Amino acid sequence: MHETSTLSNQLLIAMPGLRDPNFARGVALVCQHGEDGAMGIMINRLSDYRLGDVLAQMNLRSDLPDVIDSPVLVGGPVQPERGFVLHTPHGGWDSSFRISDLISVTTSRDILAAIA
């Protein structure tokens, strides 16, 4: 019998000696891990952007200061132009992937429109 182990829904914390600037001192949430590969999101790197900047790039508007000023994190070195939103698994957003009973991730515009 073959036992499958997965790192999905786990945090990977960089070892202190890791020198790769993309991952040094990094914490990543593993969203998906299996025979075909893995995908994770860095969750402890602030970008130079605020959510208001992202919304404006997508032609979405918010007048809520808490939304406009919310920090945006750098998700990692792969596809840095692509945005991911971590959220609870409620709402039925387009393109959502359920990581666990408590966490989902989506790349869809509809969740940003709802936040705005």
81 CB-contact burial (10 Å; exposed 0-12 / middle 13-18 / buried 19+): exposed
Q: What is the pLDDT of residue 6?
A: 87
Percentage of the chain modeled with pLDDT above 90: 81
Domains of the chain: 11-115 (3.40.1740.10)
Q: What is the pLDDT of residue 30?
A: 96
pLDDT tens, 70-96? Answer: 999 999 988 888 899 999 998 888 889
pLDDT tens, 91-107? Answer: 888 889 999 999 999 99
**DSSP character at residue 79:** S
pTM for the predicted model, two decimal places: 0.84
